[in-house]
Amino acid sequence: MNKPTQDKFITRREFITMLTGLGASVGVAAVLSDFDSLNDLIQKELAIDLNEEPLEKKSHGNGKHRWGMVIDLSKCIGCKYCVYACQAVNDVPDDMRWNVYLTDETESGNIFHMTRPCLHCQDAPCVAVCPVQATYVRDDGIVIMDYDVCIGCRYCQVACPYGARTFNWEKRTASSGYQEDWGTAEVDRRPRGVAEKCTFCVHRIDRGIPLGLVPGIDRAATPACVNICPVKARVFGDLNDPNSPISQVIASHPTFRLREELGTEPNVYYIPPEGMVL
Amino acid sequence: MTTIAAPTSTDRPISSPNSTFRVWIGFLICLLTIGVLSAVSVLWNGLEVTNLTNQVPWGLWITVDLSAIALGAGAFSLSAVAYLLRADSFRRIARMAVFAGLVGYTSAMLALAMDIGRPDRFWHPILYWNIHSVLWEVTMCVILYSTVLGVEFAPILMESKIVSKRFPKAPKIGHTIHQFAPVAAIIGLGLSLLHQSSLGATYGVLVARPIWFKPSLPVMFILSAVAAGVTFTLGVTVFYENVVKTRQISDKLRRQIAMLAGLTMLAYLYLKLWDFLATSYYSHLPSRVEDLDLLNRIAPYGSSFWIIEVLLGGLIPAVILLTPKLRAQDKWILAAALLAFIGIVVNRWNVTLSGLIVPMDWSPGVAEVLHVNSYRPNWTEWGIAVGVLGYGLMALTLGLRFLPMFPHDDH
């Protein structure tokens, strides 16, 4: 009776913890088995062939569309595939991630997985402050950089309410390290001394539309982070089209946008995680 | 020091500098060498040699840049008083003020050239306009105002012995240019009011950062710049008087300048008090309270704000400048100028860093997921700062030595 607990082969607490862990693993595996395997996802990514004629240098997109994204925090399992796929396709090193991941907690104490690409604000503070119009909102809602105009003042970094911008502090000679395993680099590495950010994989969209592809539906015209997500927590598409998958998801789910009170009008919507009251 | 005689002659032999002067020049060359070596490292390796990060992308160099611009504010303020308010006595110091302004603005440009990631594209704002960007407005005003300063400075250069010896007609051309001084003063006033204020707006308009976001910043920037810039110009003048052991400005003018600077300083402090009361004491914007709490927890922000910025950098210089007995003594004027100098530098540092050190919480949860940022300039950054200081002091020294800053026959 008086035996110290450490003599036990296993305490009740440990047993329960193990059982819970095992259960969770089985659960995740069961969930994942409903979806494509990671290997299949990566193979599909690698199969995307973008090697065609170079794109127009400074495109403004087609104002008919407004590209946006939904990130379902109740589905996200925190695998970070989206982070890595982005780093491979856009050749982004670890300390400059365009698409970041972190763990957060709801008021009721539920842990949830948070990822954040650039939110492509329609009233973007970074665009307003840039002294040389090196960054701009395209007619189709995508916020991109003109690396040839940027003077590297970093005011956009200071102004962005979401910390979504990174700066090329040094000349990068090595690749991001995520190629091959997670995809191929589809855009040029940015030069030293300019700011950069998530582009919604605009090179895929601009190439895909003339070919008749539909961003959000056809993989070759959809951002890598969306394609790679094993639980389909990310949905991409045209917010102007009421029949697009993204518009339907938004219509049928409660959504919110980050720091909405600032009036930046992001094009990225979030579906709240379990336990979060909007 | 206070026993210097009334203005007599500023004619000094240009050759045969004494040994103190040589040591001083030698010291400045050391500072410049440090600056050049640091600049080579920055231009060669890029900004990775700094301690700046994606979380704190602005630091010491922005502080240097903002401080130098503020210290150059004596130029437009004193020119405006001299040529627009037609306070003729102020013309005596107009040249010195314009020159100090030119030194301040060129120093700022040096710091900025280091700070931007692509110095080869410094001219882009002239070509690619973003009229919605407060920084574009600042850039254009600074470029245009530097041109105005150049026009105001040209007569000084043309009248100098170095130029007039080779080009005998130069002083006459310089005199013609000087006819436009009132016009230059008007344009200069407009441009300076705009960009000195909008440098504050650079921070004040950023809705995402609750410590910065307030309409008082532009006004505080212009007032603090005028106060510190005029005090600095007066300090340099009094220092020069002691070097050449000759009074250059009358006691009356000295009193007038001190009053102008001291009263502006008080106005600035009053605004600063209400800025604090309105944003942090009587009202409680939750995000701002959170950020200020965080700042006070991690850094002696409170003490550097209240003690260095407000007391040492503002209140004490104001008292000195407004107390007849104190401002009559050179050592007190010099102390006031030095304190105002420190005050403006610490203020610009505090404004810049306070907004950047606190992380922006964009995640929708309640966990503190983003860490408090830290920043401490490294040796390369200090090296550039030292180099810019060396340039400023060297320019002031050579200008005062070789150019007619205080000509005998004042128009």
**Is residue A10's pLDDT more than 70?**
no
Give me the pLDDT at residue B200, please.
94
Judged by DSSP in three states, B280 sits in: helix
CB proximity B14 to A under 8 Å: no
What's the rounded Cα separation, in Å, for the pair B373 and A258? 21
| B128 CA: distance to closest CA in chain A (Å) | 5
Residues in chain B closer than 8 A to A121 (CB atoms): none
pLDDT tens digits for B34-48? 999 999 999 999 999
Cβ(A90)–Cβ(A78) under 8 Å?
no
Confidence at A180, pLDDT banded by 50, 70, 90:
confident
Give me the pLDDT at residue A241, please.
96
Higher pLDDT, A43 or B115: B115
Q: Token pair 């800025």 is at which residue?
A: B275
What's the rounded Cα separation, in Å, for the pair B66 and A136? 27
pLDDT tens digits for B116-151? 999 999 999 999 999 999 999 999 999 999 999 999
**pTM for this prediction:** 0.89
Judged by DSSP in three states, A90 sits in: coil
User: Cα A175 to chain center, whole Å?
Assistant: 20
Compute the mean pLDDT over every residue in chain B, rounded to the nearest whole number: 91
Higher pLDDT, B161 or A36: B161
Give me the pLDDT at residue B400, please.
94
CB proximity A155 to B under 8 Å: yes
Give me the pLDDT at residue A138, please.
96
Compute the mean pLDDT over every residue in chain A, rounded to the nearest whole number: 89
What's the rounded Cα separation, in Å, for the pair A229 and A239? 20
Cβ(B219)–Cβ(B271) under 8 Å?
yes
Give me the pLDDT at residue B74, please.
94
Confidence at A202, pLDDT banded by 50, 70, 90:
very high
> Which 362-401 residues of chain B touch chain A by CB within 8 A?
362-367, 369-370
- Start-to-end CA distance of chain A, whole Å, equals 51
pLDDT tens digits for A124-141? 999 999 999 999 999 999
CB proximity A107 to B under 8 Å: yes
Judged by DSSP in three states, B327 sits in: helix
Choosing among A76, A92, A110, A132, which should be mutated to test the B contact, i.e. which has the most B CBs within 10 A?
A132
Confidence at A65, pLDDT banded by 50, 70, 90:
very high
Token pair, residue B352, equals 């810049």
CB proximity A232 to B under 8 Å: no
What's the rounded Cα separation, in Å, for the pair B257 and B54? 43
| A256 CA: distance to closest CA in chain B (Å) | 9
- Read off φ and ψ for residue B331, nearest 5 degrees: -65, -35
Strand partners, A268: A69
B63-97: b (≥16 Cβ within 10 Å) or e = bbbbbbbbbbbbbbbbbbbbbeeeeeebbbbbbbb
Give me the pLDDT at residue A5, please.
45
Bridge pairing between strands A67-72 and A268-271: parallel
Cross-chain Cβ contact A259/B57 below 8 Å: no
Residues in chain A closer than 8 A to B126 (CB atoms): none
Is 0.85 exceeded by the ipTM?
yes
| A208 CA: distance to closest CA in chain B (Å) | 30
Give me the pLDDT at residue B409, please.
54
**What does DSSP assign to residue A256?**
B
Element (H, E) at B17: none
CB pairs under 8 A between A and B: 152
Cβ(A229)–Cβ(A81) under 8 Å?
yes
CB proximity B307 to A under 8 Å: no
**Is residue B86's pLDDT more than 90?**
no
**Is residue A216's pLDDT more than 60?**
yes
CB proximity A192 to B under 8 Å: yes
Give me the pLDDT at residue A4, please.
44
| B61 CA: distance to closest CA in chain A (Å) | 12
Q: In sequence order, which residues have a C-beta less than 8 Å from that of residue A166 and are 6 or more positions away?
A: A95, A96, A97, A98, A157, A195, A196, A197, B54
pLDDT tens digits for B308-360? 899 999 999 999 999 999 999 999 999 999 999 999 999 999 999 999 998 88
Confidence at A14, pLDDT banded by 50, 70, 90:
low
Residues in chain B closer than 8 A to A133 (CB atoms): 128-130
Strand partners, A145: A135
Residues in chain B closer than 8 A to A275 (CB atoms): none
